[in-house]
Structure 1
Amino acid sequence: MGRAEERKARQRGSRRAAPKRRRPSGAGGKSGIRRLFTWKKIVGTFFGLCLLGMGAFIVLYMVIEIPEGNPEAELQSNVYKYSDGSIMARTGERNREIVDLAKVPKEVQRTFVAAENKTFYKDSGVDLKGTARGVLNTLSGKGAQGGSTITQQYVKNYYLSQDQTVTRKLKELVISLKLDREKPKDYILAGYINTSYYGRGAYGIQAAAQSYYRVDAEDLTVEQGAYLAALLQAPNQYDWAIASDTGKKLVQERWNYVLDNMVGEGWLSGSDRQGMKFPEPKEPKAAAGMEGQTGYLVEAANYSLKKQLVAQGAAEDMEQAKALVDLGGYTVTLNIDKKKQAELEKAVKTRLTSKLDPAKRAVDADVQAGAVSVDPKTGSVLAMYGGVDYVKHYTNNATRDDYQPASTFKPVILAAAVAQDAETQDGVPITANTMYDGTSKRPVMDGDRKVGFAPPNEDDVDYGDITVQEAMNKSVNSVFAQMGTDVGMSEVMKVAGDLGMDTEGVQAVPAQTLGSMGASPLEMAGVYATLDNHGKKVTPAVVKSVEHKDRTVEFPDPIGEQVISREAADTVTSVLTGVVDDGTAKKSVRENPLRDGQQVAGKTGTSDNNKSAWFTGFTPGLVTSVGLFGEDDKAPHPQVAMYKAGGVDHRVNGGGFPAEIWAAYTFGVMDEVTEFDLETKQGNAVKPSSTPTQSESPTQSPTQEETTEAPPSDEPTTEAPPSGEPTTEAPPSQSPSQSPSGSPSSEPPTDGESTEPEDPLFPGLDRQKQ
C-alpha cells in the first residue's frame, strides 16, 4: 500500500470514529413552523384569498339582479275593530305622495345629500369602509352600525328588508353598485327622499312637508329642508312636538351640521347661512279619518301593540316597533264596547262640553276632559274619552299623566294602612272607625318628632276628633297626612305601585299623601279596579287581540296576582261608599234619579290652584275614572287654573263636572242593579246614614259640594257635621285613641286639597319619569 493509499485509509477511519455533533437549538436551518409560515407563503395566501374574494364577488355580481320593489314597501293598511268585530278605522296606508325631483328646490335636495352622503354625486353608490364595518359589527353582534350611502339606504328601503344580516348587506352592496351604474343620481335621490320615513306617519318628502310645515315640497325653504333631512336619523326622537329637551338639542345640532356641510360643499353661501334660524315645525295634525275619539283609541291601541312587540323581542325599541306597525298588515281588535263608548262621549258632551262657552268665559277654552272605563273582572278598557277631538287636540287626556290625582290618592293610603295592619301613633289599629285629629294645619308627627308638614284642610276647617270614615267622606287632609306617616310613606308608595300607579322616581314624603305626583285616568282606573277586584291586580288593557300574516302577537293577562289582601281592598271599597252617600259626591251621584239603588264607591279630588279635578268611582262590575285638566289652549299649553269654568261660582271640583259625567255614563249603561260582595273589618259595606231618595234636597250646589270637601264650620252638611256621628254602619262603642296633635307647622301649603309639585314650600316633589 503506498503512502497515498495509507493516508486515505487513515482519513476514512478518522471520519468513522468522529462522534456525531448535535445541531444547536435555534442555530442553523429552520424549524417546522417557520418553514410553514414563510413570508412568501403569507403573501401568497393573502393574494390568494383576495383573488378568491374577488372571484366570489364577481359571481355574486353576476348572479344578483336588481329585484322588483320589496313587498314590504307596498302600501298596506291596519284595521282596527271594536270588541264586537265591527270596523272602527282603517289606517296605515302610507301617507305618501311621490313627487318629481324637479319640483323639489335644488337647495332642499342638497340638504339631504349634506346630511347623509356628501360624496353622493361622485361615489359609485357604495361606502366600502362603512359596509365592511357594518358586516363586522353584524358578525360580532354589535348590531346595526356602520355607514351607508344614499344609494344603499334607498336600496334597503325599497328593494330589501331591514334585517341586519351579512347576506342582506352583501346584497345591498351589489344592488347599489348596479343601480348606480344603471340609473342617474337624480333617480336615486328622488327614490330616497320619496320612500324615507320622516315620523308622524309621513313617508316621502311631500307628506313630511305637509305634516311638519303645512306646505308642499316645492315650497320648502332650505331651513325647513335641513330639518327634514335631519329627521331621517331619528324621526321620533327629533320630532319637535314630542321631543325631550335632549332630543331638541340633538336635532338642532344635526340641523346646524347639515347647513355647515352645505357651506363646505359650496352649495350655500356663508352669508346666507349666518342669517338662517331654526324653523320650528307646526304641531302634529291627525290624518283624515281619525277625527273625534277614533284617533285617541287607535293611538292607544298602537302604543299597546308597540310595547308588546318590544316585550316579545320582535323589536329592539319603541321606534323600531313603530316602524313595524307602520308597515301595516295588522288587524287590531280593541276591548272598546261600542255602546259604552258612545255613552261616555254623550255624557261628556251633555254634562261638560255643552256648558263650556269660550266666547263668554275665556277659561272655558282651557278645560280638557279625559276618562277611562274598565271592567274590573277582565281588565278590559270598555270606553275611553281622550279629548274634544283628536284632530283638534292631539294629546290623549285619558293617558296623560302630567296632572295631580289629588285626593283620589287617599284610598291608597287607607289600603296600605289596612293591608299592613298599621297602627296610629298611640298603637290603635287603623280601621274605618279609628279616630284622628282633624284639626287644620295640624303638624304631622312621627313619634315625638314633627316631620315638617302641616297641610290645611279645605277652607281651613277644623274638624276636631273625626273617624277615618268621615275623614274620607270629607277628604280631610290633616288626617291622611298623619295616616301616611303612621303607615310609613315608603310602604304607602310601595302599595301605590302594587295597585298600578307609576311611582318610579317619586319621593316617599308626607306631601305625597295629597296626591301631588302625576297620574292618568287610565292609571287611576287601574288602581280602583284592583280594589273593586278584591285586591287582585288589574292592568287596564286597550287591546283584545292582534292578527298579522307574518307574526303572532300575544298579550299578557290583564288580571294579575293578589297585590293586597281581599280584606284590605274590600275595607277601602266599603269606606268609599260613604263618599258617595254622605260625602263630597252625594249631590251628583247619590241623588241621581238614574241610580235606582245601585251601590257605588268612589272618591273626588281637586288639586291645589284648581288645575285638575277628578272623580273615580265604581260599581261591582264597572270602574270609571274622569279627570278635568286646566291646559292653556295656546302653545306651549302650560297647566292653568279652571276657576269659574263652565259658569261655576268658584272652583271646578271633583264632585261637580267629573262626578256628573261619571254618573250620567255609569247609570246610563247599567244593565242591572248590583251590590258589593265585601269582606271587611267592619263586617259588611258601610251604609248611608239615610236612604237616598230623589226628593231629598241637598244643602249645597254641585259646585259647592266639592269645593268644600271639608265644609266650613259655619256651613256644615246636614248629613254629617264635622263634630257629629261617623257615617259607618255601627258607630264605635269604644273610645278609639286619636293621633297626637300639635301646633301648626311654619311651612304649610297655601290652600286646597293638594300641593303642586312646583310648590316652593315642598321642593323636590317633581315626578322624575324617564
Structure 2
Amino acid sequence: MGRADGQQAPGQRDARRTGASGIRRLFTWRKLVGTFFALCLLGMGAFLVVYLMVPVPAANAEAEMQSNIYKYSDGTVLARTGEVNREIVGLEEIPRDVQYTFVAAENKSFFEDSGVDVKGTLRGLKNTLTGQGKQGGSTITQQYVKNYYLDQDQTVTRKLKELVISLKVDQEKTKSEILAGYINTSYYGRNAYGIQAAAQAYYRVDADRLDVAQGAYLAALLQAPSQYDWTAASGKGKKLVEARWEYVLDNMVEEGWLDAGKRAGLTFPVPEDPRPAPGMEGQTGYLVDAAKKELAREGLDEEDLDAGGWTITLNIDSKRQKALEKAVEEQLESKLDREGSEVDATVQAGATSVDPKTGKVVALYGGVDATQHWLSNATRRDYQPASTFKPVVFASALENGSETQDGRPIGLNTVYDGTSRRPVVGSDVPFDPQNDLGRSYGPVSVQTSLERSINSSFAQMAVDVGLDRVKKTALDLGMQDLNFPEVPAISLGTMYASTWDMAGVYATLDNHGKKVTPSIVARAEHNDRTIEMPEAAGRQVISRETADTVTAGLTGVVRSGSGVAAASPAYQAAGKTGTSEKNRSAWFAGYTPELTTVVALFGESTADGGGQKSLTGTADSGRANGGGFPARIWAAYTLDALGGGSDARFDLDVAEPARPRPDPGPSQTESEEPEPTPTPSDTPTEEPTPTPSDTPTEEPTPTPSDTPTLIPDPTPTGEPTFTPPVEPEEGAERPRSDGGG
C-alpha cells in the first residue's frame, strides 16, 4: 500500500536512482565522444575504401558524341549530322571573359576549391533520400563529372561516385581542362550540347565571336534551359533569366573579372529566334553525300566519320549554288507537270559546276530533293554522255597527230563525208551510224561536224585515230573506265559517265590541257586529325595546242551550232550538246574562261525497279535534246554565276584556226523536211571567228580511191550559218537518232 503522506517508499527511490545512474553510466560524455570519433573514423575508413575502389571511369558514350559540321566555302553552316548536336572547342577558342561568366554563374570558388562542395553534396543526398528532388550547389567539377563520366540518375550511389570521382579529377586535371569539359558537355537547350552549338543556336556565331553579355546569357541558361529560352519563356521566365543574367555579371564585377564601367553599359542580349538545324532536304543531302564519298577516297572511313567531331568545309560557293538551283527551277521544273504527265514524272536533272583553274566544285545539282530522290543525278554513272564525247575524239586526233585514211592530218579544216548511214572504213567492227534525225550533210569540215554534231564524221575519225588511243585520251582527261569497249560506237559517247566526270574533262580543256579533277571538299578538320586534300589541278595530260584547238572548235558550237541556246553577248563560251540513243539522256557541257559546267537530263522510270525512259515529250515540247533544256539551264546559271557576265576571253594557242566555209546544208535524200530560219531570240550575238594565219596550209586534194572517207570541201566563201532542226509533226514517226547532239 502507498504511504498516506504521499511520500514514496525507500525501495521505489532506490530503484529510480539505480536506473538513472545506469543510463548515465551507459551514455557518459566520454563514451559519446568516443563513439562519435569511432563513427568518424569508420566513415573515413569507409570513404577511403570507396575512394580507393572507385576509379575514374572512361567517358560515357554520349559525352564524346559530336556532330559533323559541313560548311560552305564562306564558312556558313550547310548542315550538321549526327545524333548529338555538339562541336567540342578548345578553351583557347572561347573568349576569356566568356569563360568567367560560367564560373561566376555556377561556382565562384572554382579556381580555389578541391572540386567538391561537401555541404551541397550532403544536401543533395538528403534531398534524394527524402524524395525532395534534385540537388543544388554542385561545383563545376562535380557537374562536369556528372556530364562526362556518369549519367543523370538521381541515386545515392551515383552521388557518392560523383563525390569521389570529382576529388580525383580535381587532382588529375587542370582547372582549365575541367572548365573546358564542363562548357563543352553541358546542355543549353534548343538541342545544343556544348558552347559552340549553343552560340550558333542562340546568336548565329561561333563560340570565339561571343561577347561577355552573350556569354552571361548562355551561362544563365544552364540552370533551366527550357524555362530560360527567351523566345519560349513566359513573362515570369523572362524576368527570372534577366535576373540570373544580372547575377552572373554582378558576380564577375565582385570577383574582379569584369570592369564595373563596362558592366554598367551592358544590355540584355536578346537571342535569335530558334531555327531547325539544317537537314538533308533539298540539295543538302547531295552535297553531303558527295563530300563523304570524296573523303572516303582520301582514307577517312565511314566509322571514323560517324564518330563525329569533324568540321568539313566544302568548295561549294553558296551564291553559285543558289544560282544553279534557281536556273533548274526556272528553266525546267516550272515547266514540268510531274503529277499530270507520265513523261514529266520521269525527268531527272543533274549538274556539276567547276572552277577550271582550281578544280573546285562550286555548285552541284543532284535532283529535286535528296529526301525524295536520294541517288544524285550529278554523280550517277548509269547514262551515256552521248555527243559530249565527240570533242574527246577530236582531242585524241590532235594529240596523236592522227591522219585520215588517205593521209591528211586531222584538224578543224579537215573534211569528212557527213552522209548519214555511211559505213566507217578501216574498222574490223562494221558501223554505219545514223546522223541526228537522219540528216546527210555531204562534205563537211571537222568544225562544221562539231557545230552540227555529225555522227558519221566522228565515227570515221575515231577509227582513223585508233580506238585504243581514243580511250586512252578519254581516261587521261578524267573519264572512268566504265563500259568502254574499243569499238567505233564509242565515238558517239556510248560508255557511262556522270556530269561530275564530264565537268572534269571539259575543265581540263578549259585549263589548256592541265588535268582538272573535280573536288568538293576544301578541308576536313578534327581536333586530333586533319585530312589533306590533294591538288585538284595537276599535270599536263594533253598539250595546250590540242586543248585550245578543241576549245576554238567548240566556240563555234555555241556561236552558230547546236548549242546556240547557251550563247550570250555577256560572256564568251565553248560547249557541246549531246543526246543519247532513244532520247534517254540530253546533255550540255560548256565553259567560259572562268567556269565549267555540265548539265544533263535523264529519263528515269518511276516504276519499281527503275529503268531508263525516253525524254521525248518533256514539258510537252517534243523531242528533248542537249541544245534545249540543258543548254538553257546552263546559260541561265552561267550568267548569274558570273555576276551578270564577264569580259574574260579565251587565250588560245591554235596552230590552224578553222577557215570559214560555206554551209553545205543537209542532203535531202533522207529527210525532205524544210528547215525554218532561226528566230531573233534563237540567234546569239556573233563572236569573231578565230583569225586564220597569213599563210594557211591548204589541204591536199584527196587521191581518188575506193575509200569514201574524205570528200573535198568546197572553196571557202563565207561563215556557215546554223539552222536548227525542225521537229516532226505531233504524232508522226520520229527517225531514230544514235547519239546525235
* TM-score normalised by L of structure 2: 0.58
Residue type at the aligned position of 1:619 = T
* 8 Å CA contact retained: 1:431, 1:681: no
Alpha-carbon offset, residue 306 of structure 1:
1.7
Equivalent in the alignment of 1:633 = 606
Equivalent in the alignment of 1:380 = 360
Partners in 2 of 1:63 and 1:687 — Cα distance? Answer: 92
Match for 2:584 among 584, 604, 611?
611
Partners in 1 of 2:736 and 2:84 — Cα distance? Answer: 51
CA distance 1:713–1:524, change in 2 (3 Å): farther
Residue type at the aligned position of 2:674 = E
Is residue 589 of structure 1 aligned with residue 566 of structure 2? yes
Equivalent in the alignment of 2:529 = 551
C-alpha deviations, 1:403-437, integer Å up to 9, x for none? Answer: 10000000000000001110000110000000011
- 3-state DSSP of counterpart to 2:352: strand
* 8 Å CA contact retained: 1:434, 1:736: no
Is residue 369 of structure 1 aligned with residue 349 of structure 2? yes
C-alpha deviations, 1:519-540, integer Å up to 9, x for none? Answer: 0000000000000000000000
- 3-state DSSP of counterpart to 2:553: helix
Equivalent in the alignment of 2:708 = 741
Equivalent in the alignment of 2:674 = 715
- After the TM superposition, which residues 133-144 of structure 1 pair with which residues of structure 2 at under 5 Å, given as runs? none
* 8 Å CA contact retained: 1:458, 1:476: yes
Alpha-carbon offset, residue 599 of structure 1:
1.2
Alpha-carbon offset, residue 673 of structure 1:
2.0
Match for 2:72 among 75, 79, 82?
82
* 8 Å CA contact retained: 2:316, 2:362: yes
* 8 Å CA contact retained: 2:575, 2:591: yes
Partners in 2 of 1:600 and 1:578 — Cα distance? Answer: 9
CA distance 1:72–1:412, change in 2 (3 Å): farther
- After the TM superposition, which residues 629-708 of structure 1 pair with which residues of structure 2 at under 5 Å, given as runs? 629-649=602-622, 651-671=623-643, 672-683=646-657
Partners in 1 of 2:314 and 2:278 — Cα distance? Answer: 20
C-alpha deviations, 1:485-520, integer Å up to 9, x for none? Answer: 100010000000000100256211111111011100
CA distance 1:71–1:613, change in 2 (3 Å): same
Alpha-carbon offset, residue 441 of structure 1:
1.0
Equivalent in the alignment of 2:327 = 347
Alpha-carbon offset, residue 662 of structure 1:
0.1
CA distance 1:527–1:737, change in 2 (3 Å): farther
Partners in 2 of 1:655 and 1:91 — Cα distance? Answer: 39
Is residue 491 of structure 1 aligned with residue 469 of structure 2? yes
Alpha-carbon offset, residue 736 of structure 1:
4.6
Is residue 291 of structure 1 aligned with residue 281 of structure 2? yes
Equivalent in the alignment of 1:472 = 450
- After the TM superposition, which residues 147-546 of structure 1 pair with which residues of structure 2 at under 5 Å, given as runs? 289-309=279-299, 321-446=301-426, 451-504=429-482, 506-546=484-524
Alpha-carbon offset, residue 597 of structure 1:
4.5
Alpha-carbon offset, residue 598 of structure 1:
1.8
Alpha-carbon offset, residue 94 of structure 1:
5.6
Alpha-carbon offset, residue 334 of structure 1:
0.4
- 3-state DSSP of counterpart to 1:613: strand
CA distance 1:689–1:557, change in 2 (3 Å): farther
Residue type at the aligned position of 2:736 = D
Partners in 1 of 2:481 and 2:547 — Cα distance? Answer: 20
Partners in 1 of 2:340 and 2:638 — Cα distance? Answer: 31
Residue type at the aligned position of 1:680 = V
* 8 Å CA contact retained: 2:413, 2:659: no
Q: Which runs of 5+ in 2 are unaligned?
A: 1-51, 86-147, 150-276, 679-687, 711-734
Partners in 1 of 2:577 and 2:484 — Cα distance? Answer: 22
C-alpha deviations, 1:630-649, integer Å up to 9, x for none? Answer: 01123222111111011112
* 8 Å CA contact retained: 1:578, 1:686: no
RMSD: 3.4
* 8 Å CA contact retained: 2:460, 2:709: no
Partners in 2 of 1:454 and 1:737 — Cα distance? Answer: 25
- 3-state DSSP of counterpart to 1:309: coil
CA distance 1:67–1:668, change in 2 (3 Å): same
Residue type at the aligned position of 2:442 = G
Partners in 1 of 2:659 and 2:59 — Cα distance? Answer: 68
* 8 Å CA contact retained: 2:420, 2:438: yes
C-alpha deviations, 1:297-318, integer Å up to 9, x for none? Answer: 11111111121125xxxxxxxx
Alpha-carbon offset, residue 288 of structure 1:
7.4
- 3-state DSSP of counterpart to 2:634: helix
- 3-state DSSP of counterpart to 2:738: coil
CA distance 1:718–1:688, change in 2 (3 Å): farther
Partners in 1 of 2:290 and 2:661 — Cα distance? Answer: 39
Partners in 2 of 1:711 and 1:468 — Cα distance? Answer: 22
- 3-state DSSP of counterpart to 1:511: helix
CA distance 1:600–1:689, change in 2 (3 Å): farther
CA distance 1:457–1:71, change in 2 (3 Å): same
* TM-score normalised by L of structure 1: 0.56
Match for 1:91 among 81, 95, 103?
81
Partners in 2 of 1:686 and 1:548 — Cα distance? Answer: 57
Residue type at the aligned position of 2:338 = P
Equivalent in the alignment of 1:135 = none
Equivalent in the alignment of 1:34 = none
C-alpha deviations, 1:256-282, integer Å up to 9, x for none? Answer: xxxxxxxxxxxxxxxxxxxxxxxxxxx
Partners in 1 of 2:570 and 2:326 — Cα distance? Answer: 23
Partners in 2 of 1:686 and 1:375 — Cα distance? Answer: 31
Alpha-carbon offset, residue 63 of structure 1:
10
CA distance 1:534–1:742, change in 2 (3 Å): closer
Between Structure 1 and Structure 2, how many residues are aligned? 460
Which structure's CA Rg is the greater one?
2
Residue type at the aligned position of 1:752 = S
* 8 Å CA contact retained: 1:687, 1:729: no
Partners in 1 of 2:597 and 2:461 — Cα distance? Answer: 26
* 8 Å CA contact retained: 1:688, 1:727: no
CA distance 1:737–1:290, change in 2 (3 Å): farther
Equivalent in the alignment of 1:203 = none
- 3-state DSSP of counterpart to 1:552: strand
* 8 Å CA contact retained: 1:610, 1:643: yes
CA distance 1:438–1:361, change in 2 (3 Å): same
Partners in 2 of 1:518 and 1:646 — Cα distance? Answer: 26
* 8 Å CA contact retained: 2:408, 2:699: no
CA distance 1:64–1:406, change in 2 (3 Å): farther
Residue type at the aligned position of 2:630 = P
C-alpha deviations, 1:642-697, integer Å up to 9, x for none? Answer: 11011112x111000000000000012224221100001225x889999xxxxxxx
